[in-house]
């Protein structure tokens, strides 16, 4: 009898744990309730994306910032060139399960957000920075987001250096050789911010989801 009771207790505990997991997991059809200033992330396919994943250990290889344009939420992103795209188009380029959205724990001042929006608008058309330099001549995705928030007086995270990432992967080495000519020419002390660095910012929390929202 004790054995049967123990088995029943274990089964019941398992059912409770499963129920809790289902409760905490957002429904499959739940969508993020985005608003201006949110940062959206995704992972996508390609040689550079594979190298970013291996160098950073993060599933996120691209990011953008949400702004309102003509009454509609859009994503400012650094591709080639820097541009504004729809949230839907941004999400459709994501690998399954990789789309993610985060926002500030403490809302920013509207005037600061307006300043960031104005700066971001002036970056459209600027070239994508394939060398990941920290100057403003060209911009890569996470640099664009970091600097937009800097315009609002917010430093999402401290920039790292190239040598802080895992550079010994064959995929990473191949990108370095192609972009810089050789590993010796990589500016190892150059400030850099990766999408995964932004996603882990202590200033951010996950954006709430709304069940049934499209």
> For residues 49 and 98, what is the distance between their CA atoms, to the nearest angstrom?
13
Q: pLDDT (tens digit, 0 to 9) for every residue of the chain, 214 residues total? A: 434 333 333 333 333 333 333 333 443 335 999 999 999 999 999 999 999 999 999 999 999 999 998 999 999 999 999 999 999 999 999 999 999 999 999 999 999 989 999 999 999 999 999 999 999 999 999 999 999 999 999 999 999 999 999 999 999 999 999 999 999 999 999 999 999 999 999 999 999 998 755 4
Pairing of strands 160-161, 62-69: unpaired
φ, ψ of residue 20 to 5 degrees: the values are -65, -40
According to the model, what pLDDT value does residue 5 have? Answer: 35
Domains in the chain, please, with CATH? 34-211 (3.90.1720.10)
According to the model, what pLDDT value does residue 212 have? Answer: 59
- DSSP, collapsed to helix, strand or coil, labels residue 186 as coil
Provide the 8-state DSSP code for 65.
Answer: E
According to the model, what pLDDT value does residue 210 have? Answer: 87
> In sequence order, what DSSP letters do the residues of 74-143 get, joined into one string?
EEEEESSSEEEEEHHHHHHTSPTT--EEEEESSPPPHHHHHHHHHHHHHHTTPPB-TT--SSSSSB-HHH
Helix or strand run (H / E) with residue 167:
none
> For residues 38 and 75, what is the distance between their CA atoms, to the nearest angstrom?
9
> For residues 75 and 83, what is the distance between their CA atoms, to the nearest angstrom?
8
> For residues 112 and 110, what is the distance between their CA atoms, to the nearest angstrom?
5
- Cα–Cα–Cα angle for 122, 123, 128, rounded to 5 degrees: 165
The per-residue pLDDT for range 188-204, each reduced to its tens digit, is 999 999 999 999 999 99
Check: CB of residue 84 under 8 Å from CB of residue 124.
Answer: yes
Tokens at residue 120, please?
């971001």
Listed in sequence order, the residues at least 6 apart from 73 whose beta carbon sits closer than 8 Å to its beta carbon are 34, 35, 36, 66, 67, 87
């Amino acid at each position: 009898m004790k054995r049967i009771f123990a088995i029943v207790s274990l089964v019941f505990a398992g059912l409770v744990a499963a129920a809790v997991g289902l409760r905490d997991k957002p429904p499959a059809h739940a969508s993020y309730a985005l608003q201006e200033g949110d940062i959206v992330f995704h992972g996508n396919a390609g040689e550079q994306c594979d190298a970013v994943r291996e160098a950073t250990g993060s599933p996120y290889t691209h990011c953008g910032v949400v702004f309102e344009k003509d009454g509609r939420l859009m994503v400012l992103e650094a591709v080639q060139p820097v541009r504004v795209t729809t949230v839907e188009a941004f999400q459709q380029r994501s690998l399954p399960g990789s789309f993610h959205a985060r926002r500030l724990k403490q809302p920013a001042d509207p005037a600061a957000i307006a300043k960031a929006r104005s700066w971001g608008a002036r970056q459209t058309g600027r070239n994508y920075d394939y060398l990941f330099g920290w100057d403003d001549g060209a911009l890569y995705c996470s640099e664009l987001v970091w600097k937009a928030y800097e315009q609002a007086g917010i430093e999402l995270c401290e920039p790292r250096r190239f040598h802080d990432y895992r550079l010994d992967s064959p995929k990473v080495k191949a990108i370095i050789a192609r972009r810089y000519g050789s590993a010796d020419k990589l500016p190892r002390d150059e400030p850099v911010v990766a999408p995964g660095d932004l996603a882990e910012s202590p200033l951010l929390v996950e954006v709430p989801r709304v069940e049934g929202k499209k």
